[in-house]
Amino acid sequence: MADAVDYDQLIPNNVGLADDPKLRRALEAWHPGYIDWWMDMGPDGFQEAEVWLRTAVSVEKSGWAKFAFVRMPEYRWGILLAPRHEERTIPCGEHLGEPAWQEVPGEYRALLRRLIVIQGDTEPASVEQQRFLGRTAPSLYDMRNLFQVNVEEGRHLWAMVYLLQKYFGRDGREEAKGLLERRSGSDDRPRMLGAFNEETPDWLSFFLFTFFTDRDGKMQLEALAQSGFDPLSRTCRFMLAEEAHHMFVGDTGVGRIVRRTAEAMKEAGIEDPYDADAVRALGVIDFPTIQRKMNLHFSLTLDLFGSEQSTNAATAFNAGVKGRFREADIDDDHQLHDNTYPLLEQVGDGFEKVEIPALKALNARLRDDFVDDCAGGLRRWNRDIAAAGIAFELKLPHIAFNRQIGEFADAGVTPKGAIVDGATWESSSADWLPTPDDRAFIEDLMQPLHEPGKFASWIAPPRKGIAQKPIDYEYVRLPY
C-alpha cells in the first residue's frame, strides 16, 4: 500500500525514506538534536511518565491513530503526508490550473522556504511555552491532553524539517538547525512570531491558546494546504487531522471552566458576575477575569495574521504558493486581478469598511475567516452561562483592540471598538487585560490534582473520556 506508514524505520514515515539514503542520513543526523531539545524544553518533570497517547499509524480518514502508553521521549514522531491526488492542479494565482509542483520551482524557492520556516518555528515554540504546565494539571485527563498536543506539535516540527531537508538542500539543513536553536521568549534568539514569545503561565491561558492560537494554526495550515507545491499541501492536510484535537482541547477546556464557574455561582446563589471576591471565594474563576484573559489571547493571535494589507501575501497567492481558506469553494476567478475586499479601517474617530484590491487584503480575509471560526465556541460557552441564569456574556474584543501588528498597531481602541487617547488607554487597560492581581489569583488556584477521576475546583469534568476510556481512567502513570 503506497501510503502505509513504515514503523520499522528509526523515523516512521510514509514518504519512502528507506529508499532515499541521503535524506534519511540528513534526518537521522538531525534526530539527536531534536531529542536533546525535547529533553531540555519539553514537558518539565514528566519525561519518565507513561502517557496514554495516540500515534498516527495511517493517513486514512478512519482509523488513522492508535492509542498506547508511551513515555514522551520514546514517542514515534513520524513523517506523514496525506495521499497524493495525481490530478491535482494549482488552485490560484498566475499558474492556476497547471499541474501541482512535485519539486520546488526555482523562482519561488525563497518564498516557500520562508513560509515553511515560519510555520516550523511556531511548533517547537508552543511546546516551550507549555513546558511547565504539567506541574499544575487540574486532572490526569487534562495532563494527558496537554502532552498529546505537545508531542503532536513536535511532530509538526518534523513535518516542516522533512520539507526543508528534502527540498532545500544545504540551506534547508541550516534552517532545520535554526529551528532547534531559537527559544520562545529568548532575548537573543527568540522565536519568529510575536505570540510565540509570550508566556503560557496557567491552564486558562493554555486553553485559550489552544482555542485561539492553534486555530490560527488551523487557518494557516488550511491556506498552505492549498499550495501549488504539492508536498507542502499534503503535509498540511495531514497536520490538520491532528489539529482538530488541539482545537477540541481549547474549546472544551474553556467551556468546562465557564460551566464550573456558572454552576458554582448558581449553587451559592451569587448573581452578580462582577462580585469578584465572592466568586473567587468559591474556588472558581470569575467571568470578567476570563474575559480579560480572552481579550489578551485573541488580540495576540490576530497579530499572527500579519498586516491586513500585505504584498507578501499577494505575492504568495499570485505565485500559487499559499491560497485562501477553502479556496476551491470560493466563487471567483481565483486570480483576483479585478476583485476588491472590504477591509475594516479606522476613518476619523470610527471604523469603516473600505474596498481595497483583494490581492492586498488576503491576510485580512484569513483573519476574518478566523474570527468567524471562533464564533461556535463563544456561542456554546454563553449558553451555559445563560442556563445558570447569570447575566454575563463573553465577547470577542474588537479586532483593533490591543494590536501590535498591522492597520491598528498604533491605535488605542477599547474592546468595544471605541477609539481613545493614550492617557485613557493607559488608565483603563487594567479593565481590559489581565492584571497582576488576576495573575496572582489564578496562579494560586493552579494546584495539581493527580488522582484519577478528580478535577480541580475551577474546572468541570469533561463529558466523556478519551478514546472510549472512562473519565476516571489513569491517563498518565506518574513515575512517583
Stretch that binds ligand BYC, among 171-179, 297-305, 380-388, 409-417 (CB under 6 A): 297-305
Selection from Fe ion, ligand BYC, none that 91 binds (CB < 5 to 8 A by kind) is none
Type of residue numbered 400: A
Residues 6+ apart with CB under 8 A from 289: 276, 434, 438, 441, 442
Please report which helix (H) or strand (E) contains residue 66, including its range.
strand 65-71
Listed in sequence order, the residues at least 6 apart from 171 whose beta carbon sits closer than 8 Å to its beta carbon are 113
Among ligand BYC, Fe ion, none, partner that 313 touches (CB below 5 to 8 angstroms by kind): ligand BYC
How far is the CA of 54 from the CAs of 249, 298, 335, in angstroms? 14, 29, 40
Q: Which of 78, 71, 80 is nearest to 11 (CA)?
A: 78
Q: Binding string, 389-408, against ligand BYC, x = CB under 6 A? A: ----------------x---
Report the residue from 126, 150, 184, 227 that binds ligand BYC according to the rule CB under 6 A.
Answer: 126
Cα separation, 346 vs 398, whole angstroms? 12
User: Binding ligand BYC by CB under 6 A: which of 249, 290, 313, 400?
Assistant: 313
Cell of 58: 495511517
Asked if residue 151 binds ligand BYC (CB under 6 A), the reply is no
**155 is a contact residue toward Fe ion (CB under 5 A):** no
The nearer residue to ligand BYC, 175 or 216, going by C-beta atoms, is 216
> Does residue 54 touch Fe ion according to CB under 5 A?
no
C-alpha cell read off for 428: 483603563
- Given phi > 0 = left and psi -120 to 50 = alpha, else beta, which region is 342? beta
- Kindly tell me which residue out of 156, 256, 260, 365 binds Fe ion, with binding defined by CB under 5 A: 156
Q: Residue 262, interface with ligand BYC (CB under 6 A)?
A: no
Is 148 near ligand BYC (CB under 6 A)? no
Interaction between residue 205 and ligand BYC (CB under 6 A):
no
Contacts of ligand BYC in 338-367 (CB under 6 A)? 363
Q: Which of 50, 175, 202, 214 binds Fe ion (CB under 5 A)?
A: 214
Residue 354 phi, psi (nearest 5): -120, 130
Q: What is the rounded distance in angstroms from the CA atom of residue 25 to the CA atom of residue 27?
A: 5
Position 374 contacts ligand BYC (CB under 6 A):
no
Contact (CB, 8 A) for 229 and 321: yes
Please list every residue from 232 through 271 that binds Fe ion, using CB under 5 A: 246
At a CB cut-off of 8 Å and minimum separation 6, what does 22 contact? none
Chain residues that interact with ligand BYC, rule: CB under 6 A:
115, 118-119, 122-123, 126, 153, 193-194, 213-214, 216-217, 220, 303-307, 310, 312-313, 363, 405
Summarize as ranges the residues that interact with Fe ion (CB under 5 A).
123, 153, 156, 214, 217, 246
